[in-house]
């Protein structure tokens, strides 16, 4: 069984940075599309970023381009999300997910496994 555990969230001032990690067990991430999503209470879960099997291809939501960077370390079976220039609008619970799709996907329904989420709060 695939398990994903996020960490690295917290309270940070606007303009600050965080690095989220997603440790995966049960399967190697080298054969999964990995993604990060975020959700604000009462709203839908939104796509943030995704990375291909090899890490050679990435995709980002327009709202985070230039500020967020997704990466992966297949040897450590871990995915990262570097978040810079944080804004109050980035406040959300951030979720890591794994998809058995062949190419990058941005729809939550295409992801098969999810972590429990890590909260990020950005103060103004």
DSSP 49-60: EEE-SSS--EEE
Task: Note the pLDDT tens digit of each residue in 1-54.
Answer: 899 999 999 999 999 999 999 999 999 999 999 999 999 999 999 999 999 998
Three-state DSSP string of 29-44: HHHCEEEEEEECCCCC
Task: Note the pLDDT tens digit of each residue in 61-86.
Answer: 999 999 999 999 999 999 999 999 99
State residue 1's pLDDT score: 86
State residue 33's pLDDT score: 96
Question: Are 25 and 2 in contact, with CB atoms under 8 Å apart?
Answer: yes
On the CB side of 4, how many CA atoms lie within 13 Å of its CA? Answer: 27
Tokens at 99, concatenated: 């998809």
Task: Note the pLDDT tens digit of each residue in 105-115.
Answer: 999 999 999 99
CA 34 to mean position of chain CA atoms: 8
């Amino acid at each position: 069984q695939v398990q994903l555990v996020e960490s690295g969230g917290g309270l940070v001032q606007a303009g600050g940075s965080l690095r989220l990690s997603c440790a995966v067990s049960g399967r190697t991430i080298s054969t999964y599309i990995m993604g990060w999503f975020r959700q604000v209470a009462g709203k839908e879960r939104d796509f943030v970023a995704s990375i291909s099997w090899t890490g050679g291809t990435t995709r980002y939501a327009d709202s985070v381009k230039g500020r967020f960077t997704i990466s992966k370390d297949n040897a450590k079976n871990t995915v990262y999300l570097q978040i810079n220039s944080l804004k109050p609008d980035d406040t959300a619970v951030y979720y890591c997910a794994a998809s058995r799709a062949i190419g990058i996907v941005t729809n939550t329904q295409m992801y098969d496994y999810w972590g429990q989420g890590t909260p990020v709060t950005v103060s103004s």
